[in-house]
Amino acid sequence: MALALAAALATSAVARGQSTKPPVPPAKNPAQTTKPRTPAPAQRGRAAGPSAAAKAARLRAPQRLKEIAPPTYSAAFDTSAGLFVIRVNRAWAPKGADRFYNAVKNGYYDGTRFFRVLPNFMVQFGINGIPSIQAAWREANIEDDPVKQSNKRGYITFATAGPGTRTTQVFINFKDNAGLDAQGFAPFGEVISGMDIVDKINAEHRERPDQGRIQSQGNAYLMKSFPNLDFIKTATITK
């Protein structure tokens, strides 16, 4: 799904089934795309983790990934640009915090690209690089959370294409974007370490990558057409 970008960023409304984007700065709005690690070697004496096939199977059944997140938790993102850590406070936006917890814990964000980077506004990610997995989450919407925190610099929020349309796409604010608060964008956490890494995520392509093609073709499309995009190697829950 996609959220219409204000004024300069776009003139067409975002339609469900395409790309979603977060809101846009006062005259521009991020939107989310519409709906279209290899496991470490097992060490002697330790049980091997789930196989890539097992992880993929779990990710193709989002309806089963509904754990309640802890009141607070951290998520470490090891990326091609460096490491940053997000601290989530469930009280800020419970439904969003639970969705993010399940997505990170089950490896949904591993290998995904930062496909929309708008300097002095926000960086967006959350479309899985494997089309069959992305298709399973395309309609896995969660209900809205009331906005309890402002979209400050370093705060993370779900992208949306309208009421009740949050799925997996999120964005991190590069600056204070309080104008997004009234639009229903509810932050659920903040970057507590490595904001300098977030600041240097490659922005050369801005929003040129087509969200519909990312959803249908995955990382194959991005690696061919935008090989320099920064990406998430692994994202893990840390207490």
Q: How many domains does the chain have?
A: 1
**By residue range, what is the domain housing residue 210?**
7-37+70-238
Whether 120 is covered by a domain: the verdict is yes
Whether 53 is covered by a domain: the verdict is no
CATH number of residue 19's parent domain: 2.40.100.10
Whether 56 is covered by a domain: the verdict is no
Whether 129 is covered by a domain: the verdict is yes
Model pLDDT for residues 177-192, shown as the tens digit of each residue: 999 999 999 999 999 9
Q: What gap in Å lies between CA 219 and CA 111, rounded to an integer?
A: 8
Question: Over 199-222, what HEC string results?
Answer: HCCCCCCCCCCCHHHHHHHCHHHH
Closest CA to 103 of 65, 144, 60: 65
Whether 55 is covered by a domain: the verdict is no
pLDDT at 124 over 50: yes
DSSP reduced 3-state for 89? strand
Can you tell me the mean pLDDT for 161-171? 96
Whether 171 is covered by a domain: the verdict is yes
Whether 49 is covered by a domain: the verdict is no
Q: What gap in Å lies between CA 184 and CA 182, rounded to an integer?
A: 5
pLDDT band at 53 (very low <50, low <70, confident <90, very high): confident
What's the pLDDT at 24? 63
Model pLDDT for residues 140-150, shown as the tens digit of each residue: 999 999 999 99
Model pLDDT for residues 94-106, shown as the tens digit of each residue: 999 999 999 999 9
Model pLDDT for residues 130-141, shown as the tens digit of each residue: 999 999 999 999
Whether 15 is covered by a domain: the verdict is yes
What's the pLDDT at 22? 62
Residue 43 gets which letter from DSSP?
A: P
